[in-house]
């Protein structure tokens, strides 16, 4: 299980939500609880994809710089 990155930056709240859902998984007893976790993780995934798309849309010539920014989010 991956924890919150040390330099979470703008994505910190999203990583926090993901970590919270990961901690719920072992205790899931009902399908409805699992569906709630699935929905929350899907939303977090969309938020991370949006941040990545925003950074990818920046006019940065150097691919390593783009990667550094995405990893720093």
Percent of the chain with pLDDT over 90: 18
State the average pLDDT over residues 59-73: 78
Q: According to the model, what pLDDT value does residue 31 have?
A: 93
Q: Where are the domains of the chain?
A: 31-73
Averaged pLDDT of the chain: 80
CA dihedral 53, 54, 55, 57 (to 10 degrees): 80
Chain-centroid distance, C-alpha 19: 9
pTM of the model: 0.61
Q: Is the pLDDT at 8 greater than 70, yes or no? A: no
Percent of the chain with pLDDT over 70: 84
Q: According to the model, what pLDDT value does residue 10 have?
A: 62
């Amino acid at each position: 299980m991956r924890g919150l990155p040390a330099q979470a930056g703008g994505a910190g709240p999203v990583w926090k939500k993901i970590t919270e859902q990961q901690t719920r998984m072992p205790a899931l007893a009902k399908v409805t609880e699992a569906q709630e976790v699935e929905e929350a993780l899907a939303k977090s995934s969309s938020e991370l994809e949006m941040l990545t798309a925003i950074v990818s849309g920046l006019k940065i010539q150097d691919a390593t710089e783009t990667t550094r920014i995405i990893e720093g989010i």
